[in-house]
Structure 1
Amino acid sequence: MGKFTRRLLLSGLTGLFASTAQAFSPFVVSDVQVRGLDRIPEGVVFKDLAIGKGDKVDQQRLAEAIRSVFKRGTFQDVTVARDGDVLIITVEERPTIGLITIDGNEDISDEDLKKGLSESGLGKGEVLNRSLLDKVTQELERQYFAQGKYGVKVEVVTETLPQNRVAITLKVNEGQVAKIRQVKLIGNTQFTDEELQTEFLQGAGNLWSFFSKNNQYSKQKFAADLETVRSFYQNRGFANFKILSTQVSITTDRKDVYLTVNLEEGDQYTIGEVKIAGETRVEKSRLTSRLFVASGALYARQNISASRDGIVRILGNDGYAFANVNVIPEVNETTKQVDLVFFVDAGKRAYVRRINFLGNVKTQDEVLRREMRLVEGGWLSNASVQRSKVRLERLGFFSAVGVETVPVPGTDDQVDLNFSVTEQPSGSVNVSLGGSSQGLVYQFGISQNNFLGTGNQVGITLNKSDATTNYSLSFSDPYFTLDGVSRSFSVYYRKTDASKLSITSYTTDSIGGSLSFGIPLDENRRLRLGITAEQTDIITGSSPSSQVRSFFADHGQDIAIDPTIGFETLSLTGSWSYDTRNRGLFPDAGSYHRINAEATIPVGDLQFYKTSYENQYYFPIAKNWSFLLRSSIAYGDGYGQTDTGVNQSLPFFESYFAGGGSTIRGFDDNSLGPRDIIRTPATEIGTPLPSSNDTIRIDNSAVGGNLRLVAGASLYFPNPFSEDSTSTRFSLFVDAGSAYNTHFDYSDYQELSATERAKIPDFSDIGRYRASSGVSFDWLSPLGLLSFSYAFPLKEQPEDVTRNFQFNIGSQF
């Protein structure tokens, strides 16, 4: 039986069919056999061939069939042979990719590169296509070119693996970012090159380029700079400003870039007539009030955009969530004016069908739903949606809150609101550590701000240290009533050895309880009223201060005979707060104000009052950058008279202190403020001398004051070592302030000699404030909140105790 073989090769570049034998006459196929298949099913080849038993084939049809097989891209060689009337197809499968390795890349991560390769069809398990591999290599180079790395080189190395597989290694030599040597502007006459280039993110460089990298070329930044220049002109009246062309010239060594921008400034225009047209659905006067453009003013694109957004916002707040506002400019070349028509299509008012919550595994739906400022069935207000989102963020239960407005299928006036939350630990086991001149101070406490997902707060404190013993139980229900009135109560036992806290020598032993109610006045304002009952016993130390001695004497007790005194007090408390901060944790916008007042009522043994005011102002600067200004003032005094007829004063154990992490960092806790003035009577051979001979010594222990002033400023910025801005942050800070005694009077010491009087500081002098500066780091870790600060004094007094490093540690669960 005669036999001849015909080999058909399809060139990848020309797509031509070539023959290795002489032509043959057409024949009818009695059978088709496919040989060489490994992982690809036979049916795939038969489908592409489209030749079966009984088909008549000739040279042209066979060539077309082989082209179809090659077109799939899974074979690198196809051979056709004839054995009588049997058509034999022999294929050689392309290898598959078993492993992809990328080496040498730093600016673009392996994950991002492999994702791009996979999207291009080059991934693990895919068939190796060398032409595609070349295109992918070019695409990688293009990505680096966009970052200004024109010297990048990508080498592809393939290694044969068993089972017809290959390993691909992409060796990347990124090279250096090309430096901008010159930015040339052509066509600007109204503004100088210097004025325009100050708006650029990139430039030829300056002394700060080593840190800012602003002289490194980036295609994306260049595009942003062009848009900045366009906005610069169009916000200053040049409505027809154009960028005619740009040119990026690269030196032969690919290290330097020269940028050229050809622009056409055009004429300067003013605003002509301003109209609002269309279906407004609301009073036009309300929309007009949101316009930031006026006849006669310079044409400014940003003001036009702000006006459009203002109209959309008003309509959105009134339920027209899908309102469309188009700005139609009419240019008058003669008068150089632009008439503006804001054409409004309010559409239908949208209503909320359902409010859904996603991601709240622990927190009950009711806790989220009561923070909503819109209801199902009511119209959709964009302002209320955002307000609801902010209220959820301020709960402190969630690390992230998102909201999506989803149109209801089949309707044009209903939407569903989907709030998605990411829960974070709301319970904590707190441990505070800090050093002082008296040794280690620590505390332990347990609190749960979202008890069993109900939103209620439960706290248990078990504090035992060298200086303090504190046992307390507290509970707060933020929605004691449906309209948001909260109820809180606490019971506590406290024992404090003040001598071990840099305070004068005495011990307080207190037991008490409190009850308070919080009343919402509006979205941001809240009033809190409460009552506190307390029993306090005071035990003096071996060397009580003059303040302690005077306090005992004022209440008719001789401290030398009985060093213990007890009091029962009943106090009324009240506070007013105003809070617009955007988050409960790590806020970066808004403000906080709080006024506190406390006063004992005359039925108790002591009569005094305390008031305070504090504020915080957050100013967002850029993404994850913010500036904080804070201040506080606290003042207290007594009223009425004691049983001995002496005017009451603020009890020494209620005094204010300063110093430490919560007031002025860089100074030891409670170490700032008035000190005890120890006056020693002069004697001579046992005979008292006139008081003018008395000597003065200032004790190292603070006794506190009835006034405290604190102020500070902080610049918060993201952690440069981590991309997570929700749990870590750094800040540079300045703190200032101190505690004072407003009743201090030098005349009490006028009979002393000038030398001894000079030893006594004026504890009422505001100029004796302290100041410090430093850096702090906050981390909401899995173990809780960790706060570290390192500060150094900017202004201090000789008696101060400084402490540079301070920290607090908490553990969350």
Structure 2
Amino acid sequence: MSFVQRYGINVLFPANVISKKSDDIYEDEADKKKHKKPIKTDKDLINARLLENGILFEDIQSLPQIQVGVAQAVENLMRTQAFNSVQIELDTNVDDDNNDDNANSTQQQQQQSTEYHTTGNPHKLNVILDEKNWYSLYIGGGVKHEGMEEAMNSSTMLPKAQFETRNVGNSQMAPVTDPGSVYWGIDWTLGLRDIVPRKHTEIPYGTDSSPEIVMQSGSNLIHSIKWEARTNGGWTDNKYQPTVGLDGFCLAELAGPPGDVGFAKAQGGAAIHIPMGELFVSDNNDSTTSASTFLDNISLHATCAGGVLQPISYDGICKGPTISDRFFTGGPMQLRGFLPAGIGPRTKAGGSTTPGGDAMGGNLYYTASLAASVAPPSGMLAEYGVRLFAFANAGTLVGLSPFTNNYNRLQQQQPVTWTQVAQSTRTAAGVGISGGTPMGRVEVTYAWPLRYGPRDARRNFQFGFGLSFG
């Protein structure tokens, strides 16, 4: 037993990642090589998992240490539910070229480490993956992206069947008295999503994100139906730089089998824009003409938005929502004075780029803002429709979706209370300048966060581009 504890092995980098396929279907070795099943899993991800679980490449480790690291890596890979089986074995057949290239490093390691009995040659790890068969279905086409994945890259190919209708009306921008068109549609989505943790900039194949993000990595299948309705600025005088009118949206989404995740999501928002001349000037005589002209250049703006996400397990068939499904709050056009995904639940520690912790998203959010804008009296800014504005906004993001354990069951989560919503509300105030372009709304703001948490990501000066006032 003492000899086994001190038996050292030097594992070469990187590990061989191969696909598992029965050998009896091949006629000979040439046929086996010709029809070798291609691997679909990112090999960098597999090597990163080995590193995270204690496999130190190009360094001598004891046999029990390697056994523990291999067992943990297999368990974590199986949690992704992307494989039927995962096998990791030690390959003792190392090419002579590799022996020559690593001879000097191996001798140096053996001279430096005298606490292990080592073999003469280094070895490779073979990671044999039996991948599940994923099939893609495309109806129509398109790529959909929601939320903000701060600590991972999410690539999604989603088939979409869309049914839409438009009310008969003026297709140009129209005032409130003559509403424009309203869009509503039903989307059916079935797609395979892949969550890959952000890679480390210095450590090869290492991740630069928290363990909570790494636990959610891997593929998952989403199947959902979504209904939404939007005015798209059709009830305002200007879609991107409104001074009078109403705007709003609402949507509801239900996800479930045959997908891997289950949830119900609802979102909504509204905005009202009122010229001050309509509020304070009621007569049209000469004495009030100048006052009305001045107040007409000033508009008041009030916006609000919110959403709620409820996990549904379907009696244990589906997992809870992933980080791709949750809400993220912060940034220009939403909660000025805070960075995108700057508030809400965070991990205890993050990567090198997010030392305060990675944003995990939430299940309930709201934002609200009050603003007043004025057009410059004359000059080039007035000619291009630029407006100066002052604002105050508030918002919060609370609640975490449960995740699955080894038995694919939903864990309990604490219900969100109104006291928690009130106590976690963030506020900020500031000034800015905005303009409408054919591509969207552009604004530059300077905000002072008034109420914030110690781990919130704040930003005073911000540049924003969007499709609505906020």
- TM-score for both structures, normalised by structure 1: 0.30
Report which of the two structures shows the higher radius of gyration computed on alpha carbons: 1
Which structure has the highest strand share of the two?
Answer: 1
